[in-house]
């Protein structure tokens, strides 16, 4: 009887875990260029995007730290960590190195800034 209870419990557990895995869905990836364009320093949205609109902005300052796809930018009011993965994927990034002055165009998703394009100075 004890063996039956162990097998039955294991079966229920595996059924529950399998159902939970099926219920998980892949999140929709946001593609900035499908939702509008940057014209000069102004974001112009189009009507192609659905769902929650991203808050577009530009961030400028001097790079103080580069760690993989995260770039720390010093501004007059403090520092901001920029995720430049979208810019790298789009091949819209200048040379990212400590000491360079940049302008990062992108969007805020919660408290995270994602750069879709980075321009750098000519140093």
* Range of the structural domain that residue 81 is part of: 32-120
pLDDT mean for each 10 residues of the chain (123 residues): 51 47 49 72 74 78 94 94 89 86 88 88 60
Tokens of 73: 């930018």
Split into its structural domains, the chain has a count of 1
113, part of any domain: yes
* φ and ψ at residue 22, rounded to 5 degrees: -70, -35
pTM, rounded to two decimals? 0.62
Task: Please give the pLDDT value at position 74.
Answer: 96
77, part of any domain: yes
19, part of any domain: no
Task: Please give the pLDDT value at position 2.
Answer: 57
Query: CA 105 from chain center: how many Å?
Result: 13
């Amino acid at each position: 009887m004890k063996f039956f209870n162990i097998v039955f419990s294991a079966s229920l557990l595996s059924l529950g875990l399998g159902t939970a895995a099926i219920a998980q869905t892949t999140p929709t990836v946001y593609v900035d260029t499908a939702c509008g364009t940057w014209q000069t320093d102004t974001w112009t949205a189009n009507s192609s995007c659905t769902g929650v609109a991203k808050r577009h902005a530009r961030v400028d300052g001097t790079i103080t730290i580069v760690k993989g796809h995260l770039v720390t930018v010093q501004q007059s009011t403090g520092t901001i960590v920029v995720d430049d993965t979208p810019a790298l994927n789009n091949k819209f990034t200048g040379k990212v190195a400590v000491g360079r002055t940049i302008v990062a165009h992108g969007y805020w998703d919660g408290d995270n800034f994602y750069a879709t394009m980075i321009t750098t100075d000519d140093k």
